[in-house]
Structure 1
Amino acid sequence: MSRNDTSETLPWMRAGTEHLLAVVDGIPDGDLTAPSALPGWTRAHVVAHVARNAEALVRLATWARTGTEQPMYPSPEARDAEIEETSGRSPEVLRAELAATARELDEALGALTPGQWEATIRNAQGREILATEIPFLRIREVWVHAADLDTGASLADLPAELVDLMLDDVTATLSGRAGCPTLLLAPTDRERVWRIGDPGATPAPVVSGPGESIPAESAPLGEVETQKAPAADLLGWLTGRAPASVLAGTPPELPRWL
C-alpha cells in the first residue's frame, strides 16, 4: 500500500470518514464540550479542526485542478483562530459541517483528472507533494482524531494495512526530527520491523512490548515476535496517543510527531 496510490487511499479515507462520523454521532450534545485526549482542546475543537481541515484540503484539490495556487491555510494563526471560532458553534451545526465538508472534499477529489492528480502542490508545512497524497493527509485526520475524541475509539480500530502505512509515514517523519532516538520497532503481530532515527547509527534496543528490551544485535525477529506488542500500540506511542508503558522497559523520549 502506497500513500500515493489513490485506488487504495481513497477507500480508506472514506471508511475513516464514516468511522469518525459514527463516533461523533455517538457523543451526546452536552459532552461535546468535554475535554478531548488532546491537551487544551475539547471534543468540539477536534470536530471543528477536522471540518476545517476538509476545507483546507479542498483548496489543495482546487489548486491541483486549476493550477492556481491555494494554500491550505493563510497562516498558522488563522488556522488556530478558525478552529477556536468553529468550536463554539452549536452541536447541530458542528455535526452538519463535519459531514458537509467531508462530502465536499470527496467531490473535489472525484473531479480530478489523471493528469491533475499528478500536479505538484504544497502541504501545510510547505513541503511539495503530489495531489495524489491528499487522501492520505485526510486519512491521518479522520482515523487519528476519532481516537482523540476520547470516547473509546482507538488506533486499534485502523485496518492492519493502514496501521502499516501509518507506521511507514510516522517513522519517516520522526526520523527527520531533531533529537529522534535510533530504535528498531518490532510489532509482535507483524513479520517486519520499523526503524526510527539516524539510518547510519547502530540501533538502540528493539522496542517491542511489555517485558525487557532486547539488544538489536542479539534479537532475532522470531524472539521479538514472542513478546506482546500490537503494531497499533507502537503507532499509538509514536504519535503520542499511547503511553510508553505499552512498550518494553523505559523507551526514550520522542520528538513531537506533527
Structure 2
Amino acid sequence: MKEIPPTPESFGELAAAADRLLSGLAGLTDADVSAPARLPGWTRGHVLCHLARQAPALERLLTWASTGVETPQYPDRATRDAEIEAGAHRSAAALIADVRETAAHFQHTVETLPEPAWQATIRPFTGELCTPQRVLVIRIRELELHHVDLDLGYRVADIPAPARAVILADVLGYYAQAADVPDFALRDDAGAELARYGTGGPVVSGSPADALAWLSGRSTGTGLRSTTGPLPVLPRWL
C-alpha cells in the first residue's frame, strides 16, 4: 500500500488539499449540507462529518506510533457509522467549523510527530500493517475524493497532478492485492503502462484523471477506451 515520506512537500500537499476543500465549502447553507452527496445514502452533511471525525481517528494511529500503545482508529464500524450519523445533521456553519478545526489540528500533529514514530508499525481501520507514512496518503485521498463526492463542482480532473498521482498509486496498489480483479492492463494516453492485473485481458487507456475516477467508483469509465469494447467489471474499491 502506498506511503509517502513525512517531508515539507508532503505536508504541503496535505495542507493544500484541506485548503481546497474549505474553499469549496464557502457559502454553503443549511439546505446545501442537507442535500444528497454523490455517495449512496449520504447527504453532504454525512461527508463533512466523516471528514471531520476522520482527522482525530487518524491522530489516534499517530498516538499509537509515538507511544507504542495500540490505539485503533475506531472500536468497530458500527461506532464509526454512529458517530457520523450523530453529527451529520448539524448546521452548515457547525459542520464547516468542525472540518476546519480538525484539519488544522491534524496538520499540526503530523508536522510535530517525532521522527522515530514515522517508522513505527500501525494498523489502520482497513486492516493493513504500515507506518504512519500511510496515514498521509489516507488523509490526502479522503480529502480529495470526498471533495468530489460533495457534488459542488469539484471533479477528479480538478485534483492537482501531485495529489492525484499519490491517490492513483494507492488505488492501483489496492487492486493489486484485491480478490476477483479481472485481467487487464491500464495505460495512459501516451501508451505508458500504469498497471497490469493478470496476464491477459483488454488494454484500458485514458487520462490518469479518468482512470482514477473509474477505479475509485467516481465514474463508469467516461473518457476511457478498452480494446475489447466494454470496460472490465471491477470489484468494489474499499
CA distance in 2, matches of 1:128, 1:253: 28
1:26 is displaced (CA, Å) by 4.1
Counterparts of 1:26 and 1:231, CA distance in 2:
31
Q: Deviations over 1:11-52 (max 9, x none)?
A: 111111001111122433311111111111000000000001
In the alignment, which residue of structure 2 is the partner of 1:206? 203
Name the structure 2 match of 1:244.
221
Contact 1:174 1:256 in 2 (8 A): no
What SS class does the counterpart of residue 44 from structure 1 fall into? helix
Give TM-score, length-normalised by structure 2: 0.92
Aligned residue for 2:192?
192
2:119 matched to 1:112?
A: no
Match of 1:172 in 2: 173
d(CA) in 2 for partners of 1:89, 1:141: 21
Cα pair 2:184 2:232 within 8 Å, conserved? no
1:110-142 superposed Cα distances (whole Å, 9 cap, x missing partner): 221111111111111222110122111100110
Q: Aligned partner of 1:256: which letter? A: R
C-alpha RMSD of matched pairs (Å):
1.6
SS in 1 for 2:4: coil
Residue 53 of structure 1 deviates from its aligned partner by: 0.6
| 1-structure distance, mates of 2:75, 2:167 | 27
Q: Which residue of 2 aligns with 1:3?
A: 3
User: Does the CA contact (< 8 Å) of 1:167 and 1:194 recur in 2?
Assistant: no
Decide whether the 8 Å contact of 2:6 with 2:118 is kept in 1.
Answer: no
2:120–2:132 CA contact under 8 A, matched in 1: yes
Paired residue type of 1:237 = W
**Cα distance change on mapping 1:197 and 1:191 into 2, 3 Å:** closer
Write the distance in 2 (CA, Å) between the matches of 1:245 and 1:137: 25
Distance of 1:130 and 1:141 partners within structure 2: 18
State the shift of 1:196 in Å.
4.3
In structure 2, the gaps of 5 or more residues are none
Count of residues in correspondence between the two structures? 233
Give the drift of 1:9: 2.5
Distance 1:171 1:137 in 2: 14
Pair 1:235-2:207 in alignment: no
Identify which of structures 1 and 2 has the higher relative contact order when contacts are C-alpha pairs closer than 8 Å and 6+ apart: 2
Q: Distance in 2 between matches of 1:156 and 1:100?
A: 27
Do the aligned residues in 2 keep the contact of 1:36 with 1:150 (CA within 8 Å)?
A: yes
CA distance in 2: counterparts of 1:149 and 1:63, whole angstroms:
31
Q: After the TM superposition, which parts of structure 1 deviate over 6 Å for at least 4 consecutive aligned residues?
A: none
- The residue identity in structure 2 corresponding to 1:207 is V
Identity value in percent: 39
Point out where structure 1 has 5 or more consecutive residues left out of the alignment.
Answer: 209-228
Contact 2:216/2:237 (CA < 8 Å) preserved in 1? yes
Does the 8 Å CA contact 1:64/1:117 hold for their aligned counterparts?
yes
SS in 2 for 1:41: coil
Q: Retained in 2: the 8 A contact 1:33–1:43?
A: yes
How far 1:191 sits from its partner (Å)? Answer: 6.1
- Separation in structure 2 between the aligned mates of residue 31 and residue 81 of structure 1, nearest angstrom: 22
Contact persistence 1:64–1:121 (CA under 8 A): yes
- Distance across 1 between alignment mates of 2:55 and 2:15: 12
- Report matched runs for 1:72-151 at 5 Å: 72-151=73-152
Residue 220 of structure 1: aligned partner: none
1:50-89: CA deviations, max 9, x gaps? Answer: 0011010111111112222110011001000100111012
Match of residue 69 from structure 1? 70
Distance in structure 2 (CA, Å) of the matches to 1:29 and 1:196 = 45
Does the residue aligned with 1:147 lie in a helix, a strand or coil? helix
